């Protein structure tokens, strides 16, 4: 049996198009997307994946109509209230990445609760990218390092790859081995810009609400067909 990737990240795309194709309101697509998140978590646990990162709400998603943003916030609250106990019971640790400043108190409180309640769990780490943008994350990290230099806590020459990685939201989390994007779109969409430098990308045609265990395993099969060289020679060369 081939080893599974330690860290899989998913760009969950296509909720709105899934709903539109069925003559349903966009919020129904988002509701079905939450069900797909539950399936993906179960699959990751069953497969022995150690880290699963989901792109739940980007920094740019605030530009969507106010009614849709409100629906998405409502679904987030519902997910935490209904699913946090199950995640905790399954030994899942929740990590939140993204900008916390400026979030409403109720949303910030739910994110804090999810992290704190599951902090000691040792199974799958579910990383939820919320109010997240890769460029914004790098900018925050650079500002932290610049502040440390200005205040004499860090020498400029000490800023290296490890120092920058350690200043990111994902500190302590290994870089993704595999990024899955649903709906057939072929964009990174400002997701884990630094961390995915050597990740494999698998684009699947299914809209996110249709993503299931079979689709997850098919993406892993495609990942295993790749020759991961990291800039070196092929490991499959004779």
User: Which residue numbers are catalytic?
Assistant: 13, 61
Do the strands 51-58 and 178-181 form a parallel or antiparallel pair, or are they unpaired? Answer: unpaired
CA 4 to chain centre: 17
Q: Strand 93-97 to strand 200-203: parallel, antiparallel, or no bridges (unpaired)?
A: unpaired
Q: How far apart are CA 146 and CA 138, in angstroms?
A: 12
Strands 178-181 and 200-203: parallel
CA distance 226 to 189: 23
157 vs 176: CA distance, rounded Å: 27
């Amino acid at each position: 049996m081939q080893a599974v990737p330690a860290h899989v990240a998913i760009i969950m795309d296509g909720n709105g198009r899934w709903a539109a194709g069925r003559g349903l309101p966009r919020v129904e697509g988002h509701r079905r997307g939450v069900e797909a998140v539950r399936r993906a978590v179960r699959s990751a646990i069953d497969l022995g994946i150690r880290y699963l990162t989901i792109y739940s709400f980007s920094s740019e998603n605030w530009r969507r109509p106010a009614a849709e943003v409100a629906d998405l916030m409502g679904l987030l609250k519902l997910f935490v209230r209904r699913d946090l106990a199950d995640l905790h019971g399954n030994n899942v640790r929740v990590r939140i990445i993204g900008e916390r400043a400026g979030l409403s108190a109720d949303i910030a409180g739910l994110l804090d609760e999810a992290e704190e309640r599951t902090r000691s769990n040792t199974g799958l780490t579910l990383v939820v990218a919320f109010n997240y943008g890769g460029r914004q994350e790098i900018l925050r990290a650079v500002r932290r390092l610049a502040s440390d230099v200005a205040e004499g806590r860090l020498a400029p020459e000490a800023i290296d790859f490890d120092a920058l990685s350690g200043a990111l939201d994902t500190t302590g989390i290994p870089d993704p081995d595999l990024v899955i994007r649903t709906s057939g779109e072929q964009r990174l969409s400002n997701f884990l810009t630094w961390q995915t430098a050597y990740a494999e990308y698998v684009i699947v045609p299914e809209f996110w609400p249709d993503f299931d265990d079979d689709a997850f395993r098919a993406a892993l099969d495609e990942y295993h067909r790749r020759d991961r060289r990291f800039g070196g020679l092929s490991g499959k060369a004779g």
